[in-house]
Chains A and B, each alone.
Chain A
């Protein structure tokens, strides 16, 4: 069969920098090409340039990318340098796109029906009614519950996973020969990720679509791809079938990506005395939010009677899907949210009511987003010194600069970074700075709220290593919040599984992973991409 998309010697440069350096690949019908690499490796650029969507001003594209439509060779179109009118005919019709962020890819002012029928009316000149019928079919195909009602719904009425399903429906509306999925599951929970992967595979089998799937996570790529192209700084590193690539990676970079993907059965945290004294004790925590909407006020029960203990030096992993209330617990512990009931004590002192500044010192928090949790107008050194300034430390008249340098060294960053601004650092480096800032006051308890969720898997692995080392060196106690059980397993001594604000299961990590008692826990476990690529399982 002839390839749907054949790319030869594709190069993209902006200014004097070559961002994509001579890539060649082909995608056949009904197969999936996975493109994998860290942020900044040029994966998105490659696909955008190859499909003629690249509109970064000043970018120069050379090479060739031929899209073949219709069976038996059919018509071919060179997409690099094609006129925009020719590209418009192809986009949405022959090539469908799904992007990373489902919250911003849909127009908030249009109903789902309008957004799905848009391309149908443009390319297929269907009547409004025929297009609406097709939209209903598509919503059924992507497995959205109650599709008839959903047609008239607006994007904000859907969850993240449902929106991504709608995006897929839009991309598939005109039965494209090629589907481009740019990190379509990165912003989603692992369970939703597993569903989306399953959905795309089913639709691909039914329709014979060729798929280009971009991800930073080789674990996900192993689930979807037949061929894999590994990119490092715009250059192809390895390009082979997924089974061979994952079984015998040739390039060290591929091996690094393989080792970094979150999966079960990796070494857990270092063992700690299970009978140490209880540092944090939470009883019957109850948090409600009042949400004002057009339909009147309504109370959301974010956390409902959750109790747990964390012993000194241990890590409690709190795991659950988004909306399960796990971040609310973090916010209660750090004083950002006031609970309706329950108690929380740090070594016998009340955390919830009138927490003294001294108590604030002993609990630190690291947030999810490394890009916005540092003040863009403050030097890194000043950000790290901020808690010291607030609490007028160090008291022994040592210059704060010394303490900042010490903290930077602790998180493996050079002392010279103190003079930099956050935008000059990469995501991983910024998260290290956030950790250094959290450690500035020598806290006993550190709350890590999805602290590695927005990092690439390879960087995530290094940050997790750092956290484990810090815990051992400084005998810290962690509350580690994540949606990915594989990461929780690497970090935690005890695990608390949450769903809709309630405790589902709470047990030592070893027991949970060896013998999950609850259906929900089993589902979370099943959502983790397995060790072996799916293609390997199908062969045997």
Chain B
């Protein structure tokens, strides 16, 4: 049956085949666009990113405009998300914190991606002793609880934005290393890699032209999911006072200061919490959508489901 599906009915001798000659990528994008959940999450993320980028101009108030007279105001036309215990505008702080959170997430995941993929691909392709040593290192890093490792790093260095990025980046490196290594191991034994080796192609070239493009699917999915978890980790670190330092706004830090006013000012905790929730959910849903499209097996399923 699969045989019938793989093989287009083509006469060998008749040279020109009437088949759509668009590359795989385009159909992947089209499939992605056909999933309403994925599209919604992508739109939500776009809005979040745009808001975060435009925050300094969009924010109606300064993030540290203390106005004690107007402290703990309910949400209103003047203050959409209300004000906090110092009379600062919660809406302004939430969108500026979005910028901080996304920046931390993107930089730390980029760090983890570059380092992790490098380690994973080299380890998977070279194999042998190097593989064993690198993977045991990764295992050790995995064995630490995420927050504990981050705490240790922050404790050694000064708490702050750069340290938070570094801590989260280091914590997520082993995940990328594992994913990259596993995918590399399966691609390495593909005949097209063997053919390339028989030509005398240098290993670096094989990694660049054959291995990396063919493991991009799982890596893209992992990146999207890791962004979601990086935002959560940043919020957790800031909540504990080890991440972004007050008075700079961050979702986790805002939640921490809202703690004391849970009974009196629900808006102080609900809005930063909702911001975390919406952003993380959107990243997760996008990741799931990407996984369905980039995994060829899932993909045939989607295609056939749609054909019905």
Question: What is A's interface to B at a CB cutoff of 8 Å?
Answer: 14-15, 19, 39-42, 44-45, 48, 54, 56-58, 233, 334-336, 357, 360-361, 363-365, 367-369, 371-378, 383, 386-387, 390-391, 412-414, 416-417, 419-421, 423-429, 434, 437, 441, 459, 462
CB–CB A336/B194 < 8 A: yes
Q: Does B152 contact A (CB under 8 A)?
A: no
Interface-facing stretch out of B4-12, B50-58, B241-249, B258-266: B4-12
Partner of A57, one of B4, B6, B202, B305: B305
> With contacts A375-B210, A421-B24 known, is A365 near B195, CB below 8 A?
yes
CB-nearest residue of chain A relative to B304? Answer: A57
> With contacts A376-B214, A377-B214, A424-B8 known, is A360 near B198, CB below 8 A?
yes
> With contacts A386-B199, A429-B10 known, is A373 near B4, CB below 8 A?
no
Cβ proximity bits B196-224 to A, threshold 8 Å, 1 near / 0 not: 11111110010001100110000000000
Complex interface: chain A residues within 8 A of B9 (CB)? 40-41, 233
CB-nearest residue of chain A relative to B213? Answer: A377
Q: Does B16 contact A (CB under 8 A)?
A: yes
Complex interface: chain A residues within 8 A of B76 (CB)? none
Cα A377 to Cα B307 with chains together (Å): 25
Where chain A touches its partner, the secondary structure class is: loop
CB-nearest residue of chain B relative to A39? Answer: B7
CB–CB A390/B200 < 8 A: yes
Some 24 contacts from A to B, beta carbons below 8 A apart, are A14-B307, A39-B7, A40-B3, A40-B10, A41-B9, A56-B1, A58-B307, A335-B198, A364-B198, A368-B191, A369-B191, A373-B194, A375-B192, A375-B210, A376-B214, A387-B199, A417-B15, A423-B24, A425-B17, A428-B12, A429-B12, A441-B199, A462-B12, A462-B13
CB–CB B195/A424 < 8 A: no
Complex interface: chain A residues within 8 A of B202 (CB)? 390
B188: shortest Cβ distance to chain A, in Å?
Answer: 12
CB–CB A373/B191 < 8 A: yes
CB–CB B307/A15 < 8 A: yes
CB–CB A371/B307 < 8 A: no
New A-B contacts (5) at CB < 8 Å, excluding given A361-B200, A373-B194: A39-B4, A57-B301, A390-B201, A412-B15, A424-B20
Complex interface: chain B residues within 8 A of A364 (CB)? 198-199
Question: What is B's interface to A at a CB cutoff of 8 Å?
Answer: 1, 3-10, 12-13, 15-17, 19-21, 23-24, 190-192, 194-202, 205, 209-210, 213-214, 301, 304-305, 307-308
Ranked nearest first, the 4 interchain pairs of A and B with the lowest CB-CB distance are A360-B200, A58-B307, A373-B191, A334-B198
Complex interface: chain A residues within 8 A of B191 (CB)? 367-369, 372-373
B285: shortest Cβ distance to chain A, in Å?
Answer: 24
Partner of B8, one of A14, A373, A426, A459: A426
CB–CB B197/A386 < 8 A: no
Complex interface: chain B residues within 8 A of A19 (CB)? 4
B127: shortest Cβ distance to chain A, in Å?
Answer: 14
CB–CB B7/A386 < 8 A: no
CB–CB B213/A390 < 8 A: no
Complex interface: chain A residues within 8 A of B1 (CB)? 44-45, 48, 54, 56
CB-nearest residue of chain B relative to A388? Answer: B199
CB–CB B201/A386 < 8 A: yes
Complex interface: chain B residues within 8 A of A39 (CB)? 3-4, 7
Cα A361 to Cα B198 with chains together (Å): 9
Cα A364 to Cα B17 with chains together (Å): 29
> With contacts A44-B4, A233-B9 known, is A413 near B15, CB below 8 A?
yes
Cα A45 to Cα B19 with chains together (Å): 22
CB–CB B24/A386 < 8 A: no
Complex interface: chain A residues within 8 A of B5 (CB)? 56
Cα A334 to Cα B195 with chains together (Å): 9
Complex interface: chain A residues within 8 A of B209 (CB)? 375, 378, 386
Cα A336 to Cα B5 with chains together (Å): 33
Cα A56 to Cα B301 with chains together (Å): 9
CB–CB B4/A424 < 8 A: no
CB–CB B3/A424 < 8 A: no
CB-nearest residue of chain B relative to A455? Answer: B12
A224: shortest Cβ distance to chain B, in Å?
Answer: 20
Cα A39 to Cα B10 with chains together (Å): 10
